[in-house]
Homo-oligomer: A and B are copies of this chain.
Amino acid sequence: MDMKEKILAIAQRLIQTRGVNGFSYADIAREVGVSKPSLHHHFPTKADLVARLMAHYTEQLETYLASVSEHQNTTIDKLKAYTALYRHTLDSERICLGGMLSAEALTLDAQILPLLRRFFDVQRQWLIKVLTEGTSRGELQLVGAIDQHACTLIAALQGALVVSRSAGSVEFFDHTVDGLLSHWY
């Protein structure tokens, strides 16, 4: 792993645990073991670094969702693989990068906003596709519009990550997911 990737990995962890406004270049420098100016060489401004991270985060998400579509056959397995992604974030004692940046959105560089919009839109469109397929195959019987259920899934998983951090345990997250999926199978 070269220096650029090392910086990105540590910065991402810091943002997902402390927020953009809760860490500094000095924190990265300490962990990576280089000086602050060296960081500026790789990422001139903090806004550059954050934008780079968010764009990459969405790309990874798209890759993951494409893989799930390919390898999971049933609708329920696809949805479980989707919730597992969030559960993995919880396991690493982080919240979602997109969720954290959304909370801080009004303090961030304007270039971040379209990236966030895209991040959530990718999930929404993927879920609509999965839920539509599941319905037409008879695997699901949904009440109401499919897009509404897509929104509910995204919102509940995002919220569950944040609340679990304060509610004190992963139990809150797991209950949330069980409550979400209990209607469908």
Contacts and interface: CB of A to CB of B under 8 A. Distances in A.
A100 B173 CA distance: 17
A160 interface: yes
B99 A103 contact: yes
Contact of A102 (B162, B180, B182): B162
A159 interface: yes
A154 B148 contact: no
Interface stretch (A4-12, A14-22, A29-37, A59-67): A14-22
A140 interface: no
Given A158-B159, A159-B156, A163-B155, A145 B178 contact: yes
B179 A144 contact: yes
